[in-house]
């Protein structure tokens, strides 16, 4: 077994590929859909459904990147490898999901989808480090729901400046902020630091001792 195969083997790549492909298929099928209503409320600015699929692809990034054992101390070299792994996974997922943006009739452009995927990926990675992989979907989902609910209207463009996730165009500033944020999240997850460790350590040990078998965690 090569080193790469072993590396892939210990991460949840299979589940990630499966979820990603299902979401990708959905994105291709619904690439023309515009979300015009949030619950009973008619949105001030319609939002391309493609931009919302980034939540799932972001979770896919967290799924494939999160190491099976989060709280093992690692030498700096390994942290570096992990950042590279996170970057590769993010690149593949972002590329795959933004391809839909260049298809015929796509309601959102490739760069907006890529930006959203990167941002949701960063949020999911942070969520994974802070709340655990099981709840890593919460930050990107909350961010997206809040943006759809409160980010629309108010300005001539049709959405607030902070509502990056529903902006159909990308700016250099957005890219700079999102990329920096992703890098920070990648370092956090790679270094294996979640919450400040001191207070939680006892709990973590208990989880290791009585919890699930290692391969399921």
Partner 1 sequence: MALSLWLVFPIVAGAAAVDAAMLTQPGHRFMVTSKRLASRRYGWALAWVAVPAVVAHGGVIVAVLALGGAWLGRVGVVPLLLAVAAQAVTIVWFAAWGSLIGRLLSPVVAGIVGAASAFLLSTIWGQAMSPRPQFSVFGDAGASVSQIGVTWNVHHLLVQIAVLGVTAVALWRVRVVGMGTRVRPTVVSACLAVASVMVVGSANSVVGGAPLQERVEAPELCVEAGTTVCVYREHFPYAGDTLETLQVMFDSASAAGYESLVPVRVEEWSRRYEPDRQSGVWGLYTIERNVEVDPAWGLAQSLLVPYQCPALSDDVGPPEQLWQSLEALTYTWMTVAGYDIPELKTTVLEPKDVDRILEAWSRCDLDVSP
Angle between helices 76-99 and 172-191 in degrees, nearest 10: 140
Of the candidate spans 94-102, 138-146, 152-160, 165-173, the one that interacts with partner 1 by CB under 8 A turns out to be 138-146
Is residue 63 a contact residue for partner 1 (CB under 8 A)?
Answer: yes
Footprint on residues 170-209 left by partner 1 (CB under 8 A): none
What is the C-alpha to C-alpha distance for residues 132 and 125, in angstroms, rounded to an integer?
9
3 state SS of 108:
coil
Is residue 105 a contact residue for partner 1 (CB under 8 A)?
Answer: no
Q: Which is nearer to partner 1, 41 or 197 (CB)?
A: 41
Q: CB of 180: closest distance to partner 1 in angstroms?
A: 25
In three-state form (DSSP H/G/I as H, E/B as E, the rest C), the secondary structure along 50-99 is HHHCHHHHHHHHHHHHCCCCCCCCCCHHHHHHHHHHHHHHHHHHHHHHHH
Q: CB of 80: closest distance to partner 1 in angstroms?
A: 25
Q: What is the largest CA-CA distance in the chain?
A: 57
CB 43, CB 37: distance < 8 Å: yes
Q: CB of 57: closest distance to partner 1 in angstroms?
A: 10
Is residue 120 a contact residue for partner 1 (CB under 8 A)?
Answer: no
Q: Which two tokens stand for residue 177?
A: 């902020």
Is residue 39 a contact residue for partner 1 (CB under 8 A)?
Answer: yes
Q: Which residues contact partner 1 (rule: CB under 8 A)?
A: 12, 15, 19, 23, 35-41, 52, 55-56, 59, 63, 133-138, 141-142, 145-146, 149, 211-213, 216
């Amino acid at each position: 077994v090569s080193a790469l195969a072993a590396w892939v083997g210990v991460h949840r790549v299979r589940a990630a590929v499966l979820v990603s492909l299902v979401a990708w298929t959905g994105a291709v099928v619904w690439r023309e859909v515009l979300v015009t209503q949030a619950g009973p409320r008619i949105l001030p600015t319609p939002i391309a459904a493609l931009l919302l699929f980034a939540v799932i692809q972001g979770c896919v990034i967290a799924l494939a990147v999160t190491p099976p054992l989060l709280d093992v101390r690692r030498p700096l070299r390994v942290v570096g490898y992990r950042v590279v792994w996170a970057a590769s996974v993010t690149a593949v997922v972002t590329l795959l999901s933004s391809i839909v943006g260049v298809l015929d009739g796509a309601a959102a452009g490739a760069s907006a989808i890529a930006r959203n995927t990167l941002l949701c990926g960063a949020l999911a990675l942070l969520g994974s480090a802070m709340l655990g992989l099981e709840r890593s979907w919460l930050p990107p989902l909350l961010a997206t729901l809040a943006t759809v609910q409160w980010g629309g209207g108010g300005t001539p463009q049709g959405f607030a400046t902070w509502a990056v996730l529903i902006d159909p165009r990308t700016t250099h500033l957005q890219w700079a902020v999102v990329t920096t944020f992703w890098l920070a999240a990648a370092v956090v997850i790679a270094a294996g630091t979640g919450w400040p460790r001191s207070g939680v350590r006892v709990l973590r040990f208990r989880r290791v001792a009585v919890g699930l078998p290692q391969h399921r965690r």
